[in-house]
Structure 1
Amino acid sequence: GKGERLRPFTEDRPKPMVEIMGIPMLGYQLEWLRGQGVTDVILSCGYRHEVIEGYFGDGERLGMRVGYSVEHEPLGRGGALRLALGQVPDGEDLVIATNGDVITNLKLAPLIASHRARKMLATIYLTPFVSPYGIVETDGDDRVTQFREKPELPYWINGGIYVLARAIRERLPERGDHETTTFPDLARGGKLGAFKSPAYWRGVDTIKDVTEVASEMQRRLLSLFREG
């Protein structure tokens, strides 16, 4: 997409290239992947793809190999994923796929191990659902007893990170969204797994999200100095 909710930041760049503390979201993702041993990446691009290609190039300066799968017309997320999977080299039996607008420190090894052990075609990373609103608690007489600011609720949401078996490509739509086509079919067949983790995760969809993630990163950075 064109990242409409992040305008004006996305007027001259795609959503994953919106900067947080001077670094594009995609830059954080590649560092996260590289730190866990990922060496080869295919970036699925459409709108303003030349901005991504110009910034990352072939990935040499990151110590990675970076390739590009470019949509010349909108294919939907499922169609774009199918197109990108066509570039995966022979011999690779699984792929890590991630949305371009998430910031996380999720450990991939346990996610991959869960996927392999259960022999799934796809495994979705689930993250705890944090309410976007403050919660007001009351007693039986409707007296306010507590305020809870954006609490974690007892539900899990799709974190936009997946482990995919290579064989899934033929089950993805040529156009459309895999989450409304392929994934429901896999779930009915018992081939869609879930991996729950409370790891740090933030989806960045709005300007408010950019500001909040930047503040969280600043706090984490400052805590490093306090720990000494």
Structure 2
Amino acid sequence: MTTGDHHTAPITQAVVLAGGQGSRLRPYTDDRPKPMVEIPGTGIPIIGHQLDWLAEEGVTDVVISCGHLADVLQDWLESTDLPLRATTVVETEPLGRGGGLKYAAASLPRADEPWYATNGDIWTRFSLRAMSAFHAERGASATLALARPNMPWGAVETNEFGHVLDFIEAPPSPYLINAGVYVFGPEFTALLPDRGDHERTTFPQLARTRRLAGFRLPQGSYWRAIDTAKDLTEAARELAG
């Protein structure tokens, strides 16, 4: 497949990793998996917003990898009018992030086509089509979205003499981080481990051969990982604003 073919054939399938315990979000996750936690004021769980976003970006088929309290998520999917086709797979034993991704990818409807993947606790909006084009232009096997988060603590600016010049509340990080959203070529699935973490095995292997790309989220894009109760509160405040 040429780069031009990638541009004319939008990516229409995705995997959502939704099996985490969400222990830092308790008590919200005592009776539901992390992606089923609702952002206050929206009445819709995180995964509901994700599925809407994926559908808006041209995705028609999603495989959701479940684990912790999988039946709660499956019941919600069955009772909700979804904007795309969603199927679930359940890990009967922990496979690790890479193994879970590979297990879910086996259920994608079109094994010979590229696919998106996202962590089930990511709250974001940006153009996946632009990310897909970036991935194709670089001939990558895998592309990860890169975000520049605000640091959770304030910073102090000083001059060379040690005088304090300013206090900066929650400044942007000087580093980019993995935003938990990916584009994978069809060949990527076979490179994943059956068990274990692809970020320690597959990604370094691809980076050494220049087949791993990093797509910086466009300026002004909204991105937040929902890890703690504070993240829920912040997301609700940002939405209201």
Q: Same fold (TM over 0.5)?
A: yes
What's 2:27 paired with?
8
Conservation of the 8 A alpha-carbon contact between 1:58 and 1:65: no
- 1:202 correspondence with 2:221: no
Gaps of 5+ in 2: 1-19
Residue 91 of structure 1, CA deviation: 5.9
Return the alpha-carbon distance in structure 1 between the equivalents of residues 109 and 79 of structure 2.
Answer: 16
Conservation of the 8 A alpha-carbon contact between 1:58 and 1:67: no
Q: TM-score, normalised by structure 2?
A: 0.86
Return the alpha-carbon distance in structure 1 between the equivalents of residues 156 and 95 of structure 2.
Answer: 43
Return the alpha-carbon distance in structure 2 between the equivalents of residues 7 and 57 of structure 1.
Answer: 25
Provide the identity percentage.
47
What's 2:56 paired with?
35
Pairing of 1:40-189 with structure 2 (within 5 A):
40-57=61-78, 61-90=81-110, 92-189=112-209
Residue 192 of structure 1, CA deviation: 0.5
Residue 181 of structure 1, CA deviation: 1.1
Deviations 1:100-140 (A, max 9, x none): 11100111111000111111110010011321111111223
Deviations 1:142-165 (A, max 9, x none): 332211111113321100000001
Match of 1:18 among 34, 37, 41: 37
Return the alpha-carbon distance in structure 1 between the equivalents of residues 227 and 213 of structure 2.
Answer: 26
Gaps of 5+ in 1: 220-228
Moved more, 202-211 or 30-39: 30-39
Q: TM-score, normalised by structure 1?
A: 0.91
Residue 73 of structure 1, CA deviation: 1.1
Partner amino acid, structure 1, of 2:26: R
Deviations 1:8-55 (A, max 9, x none): 111111111111122211111111111222111111111111111110
Residue 141 of structure 1, CA deviation: 3.3
Return the alpha-carbon distance in structure 1 between the equivalents of residues 55 and 170 of structure 2.
Answer: 32
Deviations 1:63-116 (A, max 9, x none): 311111111111111111001110112365101000011100111111000111
Partner amino acid, structure 2, of 1:26: I
Return the alpha-carbon distance in structure 1 between the equivalents of residues 23 and 65 of structure 2.
Answer: 18
Partner amino acid, structure 2, of 1:57: E
Q: For the structure 1 residues 107 and 148, does the alpha-carbon distance in structure 2 shift closer, same or farther, using more than 3 Å as the test?
A: same
Partner amino acid, structure 2, of 1:71: E
Q: Is the partner of 2:162 in helix, strand or coil?
A: coil
Conservation of the 8 A alpha-carbon contact between 1:43 and 1:68: yes
Cα RMSD, aligned residues only: 1.4
Count of matched residue positions in the alignment of Structure 1 and Structure 2: 218
